[in-house]
Chain A
C-alpha cells in the first residue's frame, strides 16, 4: 500500500509517516501544502492520500478542496481527510454525496495504528470511513424518534456501519459471527425502512441521510 501525506505541521507529518512505515506501508511523499500534495499525487500515484483539512494559506478548508481536486483527477484514489476536530456538518459536506473511497477522521485516530491502517486499506478498496465521534453525535441527535425501534445491540451495529465498517469488520469489532452481523444489519435496515443496497459506501450514504434527515 502506497500513501502520500499532507500536513503543514512537520512533527505531525513525520509522526504519521514514521508510524505508517513501521506498519509496513510505503510512504511515498510528505508535503506541507496543497500544491506539493498534488505534485506528490501525480508523481507517486498512491493508493491513498492522507490530507490535513486545514492547510496554508488560509487554514480553513484547503484539504477538502484538495481532496475534491484529487477526486476529479483520480476517481480511483482513496482519500482520508484528517482534522483536529470533526464536525457533522463538514462530514455531510464531504461524504454525503459520495463517500466512496473517502474517509474523514480525527487526527488522533492515527495513534490507533492497527485500526487506522485497516481504515486505509478499506478506503483504498472502495469503502469509506467516518469518525466515530461524528456518528455518535448523529445517532444521539436521532435517539428520541427515528431510532426508537432499534435494540441496543442494533444501535452498536448501526454506529459501526455508519463509520464505514464492512460486515466482517463489524463482526470482528463486536466479537460476534459474520452471520449474526448480517442478521443485525438486515434487521436494522428493515426497521429504519432503508434499502440495503449492498455496497458498503452506499449503505453509509443511506444511513447518513437517514441520520441527518
Chain B
C-alpha cells in the first residue's frame, strides 16, 4: 500500500534535499545577518524552492517530458550560490562565483523544451543552448583567471583592468544570446496556430522572465547601478513562473479532465464541436469514413480530403470493432500529449459507434411504428370487408327471406297451424337479423361513414349511462384516427357502464393544428386502475400505432377521465 519503492525513495530524497536546501539558503537571509531583513533577498532565495518544488511535481506527473527535470535542476542551481556562500574557504568561494549564473544553463533549455514537446528537437535550439557556454563557462573561467580577489583560487594573473574588460564582453555577449533566445521564442509563438499558441504560453512567460533579466543586465551595463524596481519585477517573475510552467505541462491533464465533459456531451449532435472544445483546437475535423463511397465526409456529408501528416496538421484514424469509422484531423501541438490524442480517438470511436447504433435503432423504430400502423390498418380493412360482406350478403338475404315469408303468409289463407309456423320462422329470422346486426356492428362501426359526430351520437344513444356528446373537429379526419377515437369512446363508455357508478358521462372531441383529442369523462367513483383494463390496453396499442397517447386520470371519488391524443394534420 504505502510501501516505499526505490523509485519513490528517489522522489523522497529529492523532496527532502529541496526542502533542506531551501531552509539552509533562507537561514542567513532571515537570521544570521546584520541589519533588517532584505525583502528582495528573501524572495530571490525562494526562487530555488519554487523551481525545485514545481519541477518535482512536473517531473513526476509528466515523466515523458524533460521540462520537469530541467525545472528541478534550475531550482537546485539557484541554491548553489546561497549555500556555497555560507561555507568558508577559497574553494567554496571560487565555485560559488563559477556557478552563480549556472541556472541559466538549465532555464534556457527548459523554456525551449516547453516550446517543443519536452525535448530539444531542433539543432538550432541545441546550438543556442551551447552558445551560453561561451559567456557562462569559457569567459567566466577566463575572467576568474584575471580576477584580483583573495579567495579566488583561479586568479593566476590578477589584473583588474583585464578582468573588467572580460566582464564587459561576457555580459554583452550574454545579453546578445539572451535577446536572441527571447526573440526566437517570441517569433515561434507569433507564428503558431491558435491551439499551439495556448500550449506555448508558459514558454512565452519564460521568455518574458528571460527578457526582464536581459533588460536588468543591460540597465546594469549602461547605468552601472542596479535598478531596484526592475530587480523586484524580475525576481518576482522568476519565483512565480514555475507555476505557469507546471500549469502548461499539466494542461493536457486538465484537457483530460475535459474528457469526462466530452463523454457527457457525446450524445449531442455536434461531436466535432465537442471534440474541438475538449482539445482546444477549433480547427479539429471529424472526417467520417464512408465505406460505400470510399471517401471521408464531414457531418454534413461533404467530402473531406485528409491532409498529409505535416508540421501543423495531424491525422489519427478512428477504428471500432476493426472497422474504419473516421479520421481525426487535429493540430500537431496536441501530439504533446499522445495519451490525450489516443483517448480522444477512442472516445470518437465510441461516439460514432453509438451514433451509428442510434441511427440504426431509430430506423428500426420508425419501421416498427410503420409496421404496427400497417398491421392495425390491415386488421381494420379486413374487419370492414367482413362487415360489408355480412351486410351485402347474409343480412340482405335474410331480409329478402323475411319479405318472402311475409308474402307466403298472405297466401297461406286460413290454415292457422301453417300461419303459426310462418310467424315463428319470421320471429326467428328477426332475432337472427338482430344478432347479425350486432355482430356486424362489432366488426366495424359502419355508422362512421356518416362522420365521427353522428357515430358518437349513436354510441351515446346506446350507452346505459346518459351521455352527452360534443364533437368539434371540422374538416376531414383520417379514417384511422376516426376509428381509434370511436373505439376509445366505445370502450371507455362500456367501462363507465360497468365500473364507474356514474350518473352522467360526457364525450368531447376537439382538434388543434396537430392532433385530435377525445376525452370521455364521467362523474362516477373514480379510482380506476392506472394500468388500464385489458380493453383499454388494446386501445392504447391502437392509439400508439398512430403515434398517439392514451391516458386515464381517475382520482378516487372524482370520476374517471380517459383521454386520447391522436396526431393528425389539419
Give the total of B residues in contact with A, Cβ under 8 Å.
43
Check B426–A60 contact: CB distance below 8 A.
Answer: no
Report A38-66 CB contacts with B as 1/0, cut-off 8 Å: 00000000000000001000111100100
Check B458–A89 contact: CB distance below 8 A.
Answer: yes
Give bound CA distance, A145 to B503, whole Å.
Answer: 9
Q: Is A113 an interface residue (CB 8 A)?
A: yes
Give bound CA distance, A194 to B179, whole Å.
Answer: 111
Q: Is A97 an interface residue (CB 8 A)?
A: no
Check A11–B396 contact: CB distance below 8 A.
Answer: yes
Chain A nearest Cβ from B406, distance in angstroms: 5
Q: Which residues of B contact A64 (CB under 8 A)?
A: 450
Q: Which residues of B contact A141 (CB under 8 A)?
A: 460-463, 466-467
Report A108-133 CB contacts with B as 1/0, cut-off 8 Å: 10110100000000000000000000
Check A85–B440 contact: CB distance below 8 A.
Answer: yes
Please indicate which of the listed interface residues B403, B450, B458 has the most CB atoms of chain A within 10 Å of its own CB: B403
Give bound CA distance, A134 to B462, whole Å.
Answer: 9
Q: Is A196 an interface residue (CB 8 A)?
A: no
Q: Which residues of B contact A18 (CB under 8 A)?
A: 403, 407
Give bound CA distance, A144 to B404, whole Å.
Answer: 41
Chain B nearest Cβ from A41, distance in angstroms: 23
Please indicate which of the listed interface residues B440, B441, B450, B461 has the most CB atoms of chain A within 10 Å of its own CB: B461
Chain B nearest Cβ from A98, distance in angstroms: 16
The residue in chain B whose Cβ has the minimal distance to the Cβ of A12 is B400
Check A93–B404 contact: CB distance below 8 A.
Answer: no
Check A84–B391 contact: CB distance below 8 A.
Answer: yes
Q: Is B75 an interface residue (CB 8 A)?
A: no
Residue of A15, A138, A212 near B404 (CB, 8 A) is: A15
**CB proximity to B under 8 Å, residues A87-105:** 87-90, 92-93
By secondary structure, the A interface counts as: helix
Report B448-473 CB contacts with A as 1/0, cut-off 8 Å: 01110111111111111111000000
Check A90–B466 contact: CB distance below 8 A.
Answer: no
Q: Is B410 an interface residue (CB 8 A)?
A: yes
Check B430–A108 contact: CB distance below 8 A.
Answer: yes
Check B403–A138 contact: CB distance below 8 A.
Answer: no
Report B376-409 CB contacts with A as 1/0, cut-off 8 Å: 0000000000001001100111011011111100
Chain B nearest Cβ from A84, distance in angstroms: 5
- Known contacts A88-B458, A92-B457; decide if A12 and B447 are in contact (CB<8 Å): no
Check B466–A144 contact: CB distance below 8 A.
Answer: yes
Q: Is B433 an interface residue (CB 8 A)?
A: yes
Check B449–A9 contact: CB distance below 8 A.
Answer: no
Give the total of A residues in contact with B, Cβ under 8 Å.
39
Residue of A59, A89, A142, A144 near B457 (CB, 8 A) is: A89
Residue of B399, B410, B451 near A108 (CB, 8 A) is: B399
Check B437–A84 contact: CB distance below 8 A.
Answer: yes
Give bound CA distance, A64 to B405, whole Å.
Answer: 28
Check A90–B447 contact: CB distance below 8 A.
Answer: yes
Give bound CA distance, A89 to B455, whole Å.
Answer: 6
Give bound CA distance, A167 to B88, whole Å.
Answer: 143
Residue of A16, A19, A89, A113 near B461 (CB, 8 A) is: A89
Check B407–A92 contact: CB distance below 8 A.
Answer: no
Report B429-452 CB contacts with A as 1/0, cut-off 8 Å: 010010001001100001101110
Check B454–A12 contact: CB distance below 8 A.
Answer: no
**CB proximity to B under 8 Å, residues A1-35:** 8-9, 11-12, 14-16, 18-19, 22
Check B447–A145 contact: CB distance below 8 A.
Answer: no
Give bound CA distance, A197 to B456, whole Å.
Answer: 30
Chain A nearest Cβ from B508, distance in angstroms: 16
Give bound CA distance, A88 to B454, whole Å.
Answer: 8
Give bound CA distance, A12 to B173, whole Å.
Answer: 124
Q: Is A137 an interface residue (CB 8 A)?
A: yes
The residue in chain A whose Cβ has the minimal distance to the Cβ of B463 is A141
Chain B nearest Cβ from A151, distance in angstroms: 20
The residue in chain B whose Cβ has the minimal distance to the Cβ of A58 is B449
Q: Is A107 an interface residue (CB 8 A)?
A: yes
Q: Which residues of A contact B403 (CB under 8 A)?
A: 12, 15-16, 18-19, 110-111
Check B406–A137 contact: CB distance below 8 A.
Answer: no
Q: Which residues of A contact B405 (CB under 8 A)?
A: 111
Give bound CA distance, A11 to B391, whole Å.
Answer: 14
Give bound CA distance, A98 to B185, whole Å.
Answer: 99
Give bound CA distance, A46 to B453, whole Å.
Answer: 33
Check B426–A15 contact: CB distance below 8 A.
Answer: no
The residue in chain B whose Cβ has the minimal distance to the Cβ of A142 is B466
Q: Which residues of A contact B449 (CB under 8 A)?
A: 58, 60-61
Give bound CA distance, A140 to B437, whole Å.
Answer: 20
Q: Which residues of B contact A111 (CB under 8 A)?
A: 402-403, 405-406, 426, 430
Check B406–A134 contact: CB distance below 8 A.
Answer: no
Check B461–A88 contact: CB distance below 8 A.
Answer: yes
Check A84–B399 contact: CB distance below 8 A.
Answer: yes
Check B399–A87 contact: CB distance below 8 A.
Answer: no
Q: Which residues of A contact B437 (CB under 8 A)?
A: 84-85
Chain A nearest Cβ from B423, distance in angstroms: 11
Check A108–B400 contact: CB distance below 8 A.
Answer: no
The residue in chain B whose Cβ has the minimal distance to the Cβ of A135 is B461
The residue in chain A whose Cβ has the minimal distance to the Cβ of B396 is A9
Q: Which residues of A contact B430 (CB under 8 A)?
A: 108, 111
Please indicate which of the listed interface residues A61, A111, A145 has the most CB atoms of chain B within 10 Å of its own CB: A111
Q: Which residues of A contact B441 (CB under 8 A)?
A: 85
- Known contacts A12-B396, A85-B437, A108-B399; decide if A90 and B458 are in contact (CB<8 Å): yes
Check B446–A85 contact: CB distance below 8 A.
Answer: yes
Q: Which residues of A contact B447 (CB under 8 A)?
A: 85, 87, 89-90
Give bound CA distance, A108 to B437, whole Å.
Answer: 12
Chain B nearest Cβ from A62, distance in angstroms: 10
Chain A nearest Cβ from B139, distance in angstroms: 111
Report B471-505 CB contacts with A as 1/0, cut-off 8 Å: 00000000000000000000000000000000110
Other A-B contacts than A87-B457, A92-B454, A141-B466, 7 sampled, CB-CB below 8 A, are A11-B396, A59-B392, A85-B447, A90-B447, A90-B458, A110-B403, A111-B405
For this complex, 27 residue pairs linking A to B, each with C-beta atoms less than 8 Å apart, are A9-B396, A12-B400, A15-B403, A15-B407, A19-B407, A59-B388, A59-B391, A60-B449, A85-B440, A87-B450, A87-B454, A89-B450, A89-B455, A89-B457, A90-B447, A93-B454, A108-B402, A110-B406, A111-B406, A113-B406, A137-B461, A138-B461, A141-B461, A144-B465, A144-B504, A145-B504, A212-B457
